[in-house]
Amino acid sequence: MEAEPPVLELRHVAVAYDRVPVVEDVDGTVLAGQSVALIGPNGAGKSTLIKAILGLVPVVRGSVAVLGRPPQASRRQVAYVPQADTLDTEFPVSAFQAVLMGRYPRVGFIRRPGAADRQAAWQALDAVGLAELASARFGILSGGQRQRVLLARAIAQEPRLLLLDEPFNGVDALSQELLLAALRRLRTGGAAVVMATHDLGLAHLACDEVCLLNRHQIGFGPIGTTLTAERLRATYGGQALELRGDGVIVARP
């Protein structure tokens, strides 16, 4: 029997907009159950790399493989969690309806979501601790609750690869706990996670691997050995501060 391909395989990936390279030479492998933090300053190419993994921007050099196939062929196995504050808070959908949207690709055109889809949406909403607010309008929820709704939508997709863009931005402590717990459960279930984040502390809590980015890859590997002072300075340049004493690095976004 052939070994199962890794969930995500990046081979010297370069992505460009209008022939201007945005991010270059990203190389690494993500296995089932692993979680990778994409770390780098604003404009480092984190969101672009996520879009390339989704197959929404073309890769100009190298290759991206999701479950051994091109990204476009694996979309059903991939879920994307956008930043909650990019969405219209006046939009007339309930939290439950927003989560149910994660089932639409399975439901297909014309048909309405079935009992199994509604069940999956309920379970996903429950998994992020929002079952009680299912019928509340998405826009009246707090930033952290909206981020949890979007994670629930991704959970309802039953993904094998989960991509998150700054999932902890503007999120309260309770929501942060619940997001972290839900992500842990997903990984236990065999999903791989890739998240773009500014927050080194949360990266340590949520991830075991790290990819340091600033237009090109500065490091990719286990978080404990890869996240060194030297590499962080290379990633953040003048924005990195070294504290005296224990040599801790604080990077500002």
Q: Does residue 140 belong to the site contacting other proteins (CB under 8 A)?
A: yes
Find the shortest distance in angstroms from Cβ 75 to other proteins. Answer: 4
Q: Does residue 4 belong to the site contacting other proteins (CB under 8 A)?
A: no
Cβ count within 10 A of residue 41? 18
Which has the closest alpha carbon to 13: 98, 71, 97, 90? 71
Q: Does residue 19 belong to the site contacting other proteins (CB under 8 A)?
A: no
Q: Does residue 38 belong to the site contacting other proteins (CB under 8 A)?
A: no
Which strands make up the sheet holding 192-197, listed edge to edge? Answer: 59-66, 8-17, 20-30, 216-222, 209-214, 35-39, 192-197, 161-165, 78-81
Q: Does residue 153 belong to the site contacting other proteins (CB under 8 A)?
A: yes
Show the tokens assigned to 192: 């791989």
Stretch that binds other proteins, among 3-11, 85-93, 191-199, 236-244 (CB under 8 A): 85-93
Find the shortest distance in angstroms from Cβ 118 to other proteins. Answer: 13
Residue in 34, 145, 176, 217 binding other proteins, rule: CB under 8 A: 145
CA quadruple 201, 182, 195, 42: dihedral sign = negative
d(CA 169, CA 121): 24
Show the tokens assigned to 212: 């340091």
d(CA 184, CA 187): 5
Which CB sits closer to other proteins, 148 or 231? 148
Site mask, other proteins, residues 46-75, x = CB under 8 A?
--------x-x---------------x--x
| Residue pointed to by tokens 């998240």 | 195
Stretch that binds other proteins, among 21-29, 32-40, 128-136, 180-188 (CB under 8 A): 128-136
Residue in 2, 3, 19, 135 binding other proteins, rule: CB under 8 A: 135
Which CB sits closer to other proteins, 62 or 139? 139
d(CA 55, CA 57): 6
Q: Which residue intervals of 85-218 are DSSP H helices?
A: 95-100, 104-107, 115-127, 143-156, 173-188, 200-206
Residue in 34, 48, 147, 157 binding other proteins, rule: CB under 8 A: 157
Instruction: List interacting residues with other proteins (CB under 8 A).
Output: 54, 56, 72, 75-76, 78-80, 82, 86-88, 91-94, 97-98, 101-102, 104-105, 107, 109-110, 112-113, 132-133, 135-137, 140-142, 145, 150, 153, 157, 163
